[in-house]
Structure 1
């Protein structure tokens, strides 16, 4: 991003901001609100029925994820993971398996992301660079040059490790909250109208109960990383941000 020419930089903020806002609203509606309403209100025999309600409800986030893939023209690991999660939820529900498997699935996916974040520290591509330290948000070239000038590359690697553990903690927190939420809410027999209503309730509560606490931890990790970069480089926040974020 930092290598784009000036006209592109000048036009990017105006064109990039609206899609981000629209995407946030679309995510909330398509991934949470609409599926929750369908499961809660249309699962009766007078409407879609229990199985078709699950199919229709999960079709919204599934098709939204596929649309995102087609628009971007490339696979996104996290979007792909979301699609897999949706398919697993649908499969478990339609096969009327015990609700404990949904709880296990809900816990397993963020837990695997947390483990992957920690394990990636031993590779050349730590995931913290995908989440927080990347050239879409930060001017990584300028930061790297300043770190080298100040002989702080080693200290920065330690900072990345600490931030990685904070990012992993957000995933582990999400894993625990996912499991508890599923175990507490999913109490009715699978395949019943009551079970679908509970699945809709779990979907609706996932944002305030799971996403918000996890995002708070992630934001704290971001603040920690940005402050440490400022101390190690001597640069102000506006100086380390990528050009299109200034």
Structure 2
């Protein structure tokens, strides 16, 4: 195994973007919405349990892979704000502000990351768990098109940030429309659940369609610059048959 392949394998072990989202954001949100009532955990215990997921995952990632998990930190902040609004019985408008602020912060982070060596678009889409990055980089070098691809990768990052801007606006509108009861009440928790259910068809599905469009744009760029088909550049973990046939040849 070459040194480059070893670097890719090491990078693969430390990247779990969808698991990050599940543990840091989805599970804590479900705990706050479904188990914070008096019949279950109660507001304060539910907040503590919900916070334990992103906090524990972030600590595990730090000691296991030596990296700071941005999504875990974001989930920790989001859960703390949501739970805090209910515990402190703040006006429901603060919930709308918080719902808009979280995706806005992510979108801003995506933009800022384009000026760093670790743009977030690489973590979620252009990473060794989705695409055979090592193979793509070799082909780009052979065609002397690395600079062009970097420009298109940055453009994909801008589109990616735009999806979070869309989510930010829609989250605010949805929260202001549905959550009208005082925080800390059963009606508030019920409306919070309704907002979450509606967020899937209203926000999540359009955002996923936009994400798929960005991935399509990224793949079209790879196809134009390397000549490879999608099947030929999928990660070996996704397309082991193609990978093994290449190794045999």
Normalising by the smaller structure, the TM-score range is: 0.7 to 0.9
State the Cα distance separating 1:66 from its structure 2 match.
Answer: 4.0
Does residue 207 of structure 2 align to residue 214 of structure 1? yes
Name 2:149's counterpart in structure 1.
Answer: 156
- In structure 2, the partner of 1:175 is 168
* Count of residue correspondences: 226
- Runs of 4+ in structure 1 off by over 6 angstroms are 19-29
Q: Which residue of 1 aligns with 2:5?
A: 3
Is the 8 Å Cα contact of residues 24 and 57 (structure 2) preserved in structure 1?
Answer: no
1:1-246 aligned at under 5 Å gives the runs 3=5, 30-31=27-28, 35-38=32-35, 42=37, 47=39, 53-59=42-48, 61-69=50-58, 72=61, 73=64, 75-246=68-239
Instruction: For 2:25 and 2:81, locate their aligned partners in 1 and report how far apart those are by CA, in whole Å.
Output: 20
Q: Residues 38 and 200 of structure 1 are in contact (CA less than 8 Å); yes or no, is this contact kept in structure 2?
A: no
TM-score, structure 2 as length reference: 0.76
TM-score by length of 1: 0.77
Q: Distance in 1 between matches of 2:92 and 2:161?
A: 26
**Residue 175 of structure 1: CA displacement?**
0.8
Displacement of 1:55 in angstroms is 3.3
CA distance in 2, matches of 1:227, 1:33: 37
Structure 1: tracts of 5 or more residues without a match: 9-18
Alignment correspondent of 1:13? none
If asked which structure has higher relative contact order (CA below 8 Å, sep 6+), I would say: 1
Range moving further from structure 2, 175-184 or 57-66: 57-66
